[in-house]
Amino acid sequence: MDSAVQWFSTHMGSMPPQLAVMLVSMLPIVELRGGIPLARILELPLFQAIFFSVLGNIIPIPFILLFIRKIFDWLRPTKHIGGLIKRLEKRAMNKSDSIANAEFWGLAVFVGVPLPGTGGWTGALIAALLEIDVKKASLAILLGIAMAATIMSLISYGIFHM
Looking at residue 103, its pLDDT comes to: 85
Residue at 117: amino acid letter: G
Asked whether 157 and 46 are in contact (CB, 8 A), the reply is: yes
Our CA dihedral for 23, 149, 55, 104, rounded to 10 degrees, sits at: 120
72 and 118: one domain? Answer: yes
Chunked into runs of 10 residues, the chain (162 residues) has average pLDDT values of 63 84 94 95 95 97 94 89 86 72 88 90 91 94 97 86 50
* One domain for residues 53 and 72: no
Are 70 and 51 in a shared domain?
no
Domain count, the chain: 2
* Of 76, 1, 80, 86, nearest in space to 37 by CA: 1
The pLDDT of residue 129 is 87
- Residue 12: per-residue pLDDT: 66
Say if residue 71 is in the same domain as residue 138: yes
What is the rounded distance in angstroms from the CA atom of residue 56 to the CA atom of residue 14?
19
Residues 157 and 136 in one domain: no
pLDDT of the residue at 4: 61
**Which pLDDT does position 49 carry in this prediction?**
97
Considering the domain architecture, whether residues 116 and 87 belong to the same structural domain is answered as: yes
| Res 90: pLDDT | 82
Does residue 75 share a domain with residue 142?
A: yes
Decide if 21 contacts 49 (C-beta within 8 A): yes
Per the structure, the complete domain to which residue 71 belongs is given by 60-146
Residues 23, 72 within the same domain: no
